[in-house]
Amino acid sequence: MSTTTDLTGGKPDVSVGHFGEYGGRFVPEALVAALDELAQMHAQTQTDPTFIAELDELHRTYSGRPSIITEAKRFACYAGGARIILKREDLNHTGSHKINNVLGQALLTKRMGKSRVIAETGAGQHGVATATAAALMGLDCVVYMGEEDTKRQSLNVARMKLLGAEVVPVTSGSRTLKDAINEAMRDWVTNVADTHYILGTVAGPHPFPTMVRDFHRIIGDEARAQVIELTGKLPDAVLACVGGGSNAIGIFYPFIQDTSVRLIGLEAGGDGIETGRHASAISGGRPGVLHGARSYMLQDKDGQTRESHSISAGLDYPGVGPEHAYLHDIGRAEYRPITDKEAMEAFSLLSRTEGIIPAIETAHALAGAMKVGNELGPKATLLINLSGRGDKDVETAANYFENLKM
């Protein structure tokens, strides 16, 4: 399924990174040489025993892999009695799945002889992970973050600064993740000679969607074996939240050939798709080109990007990774919207039933699990990617539930 089809020739052509009609490369020419170098470096290191061993050691001795699975028995009562198994990426160092990709790309940065990394961040999880890896490996680090998000996620801003990174609040456009990516791209075009852009999701120009997926597939590889060991069989469905889609593709990818396993991505439905105030690129958008790749996106009739809305800063993005667009079109994965309200109910519920405070992003997947569990009933087993922990969201949650009381 890693096969990617070149539209013009019809032959598989991984070098330009197409997933059906999606993906590809739509970038200023100034970045092409760097993207080519990166693609080549990624391809080489995928089979390089030294690189693999280095990354594996970091996983084991630094970020804490393999992450465990936890069966959520009390939460399951609210999900139709289905068996609920959580893949605990929230227990990774820095508190989310993001570290998997960042450690891989930071190692590639060193190999390419570059001394500076830049990153965009929405919720701050990817920014914190990047700042962490930069501190560990002695790289200069600048993180671009929408001004709006620096307010919503002030705790993570403080963490990044403690880790020695410079945090640049982005004041252009909607002042959120989309604009942080624009600003990071502008920095990269200017400083590409000594700088690597550690893109945090499976979007962007080739090779990012493929490379970031490859660094996150460890989630699904581990979880698949763990679930089989625990239950003796494959799960009936795998669920994950989808903004750009990195944690989702990480857990989906090793299950793609297992056609009995439903793959379900939960997008941020905001106030509801029908209100137009949401961040569901697949459920509520159409194909277009944003940030260097073709995929589903929110846009007006002229192709201007529309602002997304979500209570979750990490899902508040008008696009989605191209491989998800492809999996959607071929019917291999399903994508559904979850509203802010549904997500916050699940956020609260997991906290009270299991003693696990999830990230609000992740709460979208949990809300999806409640629906799917009720649809499939008690015989079903659902594997959910618990992509991040909710410490950063405590203030947002306190405000949200306080407002409900009024």
Partner 1 sequence: MSHLSERLAQLKSENRAAFIAYLPAGFPTVEKSKAAIEVLVKNGADIIEIGFPYSDPIMDGPIIQEAADIALANGAGAKEVLEILEFTTNLNVPAVVMTYWNPIEQYGISKFADAIKSANGSGVITPDLSLEEANPWINESNRAGIDNIFVAAPSSLPERLNHVASACSGFVYAASLMGVTGTRTSVSSSAKDLVARIRESVQTPVCVGLGVSTPEQAKEVASYADGVIVGSALIKILLEQPDFETGLKELATLTKSLADGIRQAR
The site for partner 1 (CB under 8 A) is made up of 8, 16, 24-34, 172-173, 178, 182, 185-186, 189-193, 205, 288-292, 294, 299, 301-305
Query: How far is Cα 124 from Cα 159, in angstroms, rounded to an integer?
Result: 9
Evaluate whether 298 touches 279 at the Cβ level (below 8 Å). Answer: yes
Place of tokens 């260097």: 292
Residue 405's φ and ψ, nearest 5 degrees, are: -70, -30
Q: Which is nearer to partner 1, 185 or 227 (CB)?
A: 185
How near is the Cβ of 318 to partner 1 at its closest, in Å? 9
Query: How far is Cα 344 from Cα 338, in angstroms, rounded to an integer?
Result: 10
Comparing C-alpha atoms, which of 313, 392, 380 is closest to residue 81? 380
Q: Which is nearer to partner 1, 34 or 86 (CB)?
A: 34
How near is the Cβ of 209 to partner 1 at its closest, in Å? 15
Q: Which is nearer to partner 1, 54 or 307 (CB)?
A: 307
Evaluate whether 69 touches 97 at the Cβ level (below 8 Å). Answer: no
DSSP symbol at 243: S
Annotated active-site positions, please? 98, 120, 387
* All residues at 6 or more sequence positions from 286 whose CB lies less than 8 Å from its CB, including other chains: 296, 297, 299
How near is the Cβ of 338 to partner 1 at its closest, in Å? 26
Q: Which is nearer to partner 1, 119 or 185 (CB)?
A: 185
How near is the Cβ of 182 to partner 1 at its closest, in Å? 5
Tokens (6 digits) for 336: 């559904």
Tokens (6 digits) for 248: 């989702």
Q: Which is nearer to partner 1, 94 or 299 (CB)?
A: 299
How near is the Cβ of 289 to partner 1 at its closest, in Å? 4
CA dihedral 21, 23, 27, 31 (to 10 degrees): -140
* All residues at 6 or more sequence positions from 362 whose CB lies less than 8 Å from its CB, including other chains: 90, 241, 385, 386, 387, 388, 390
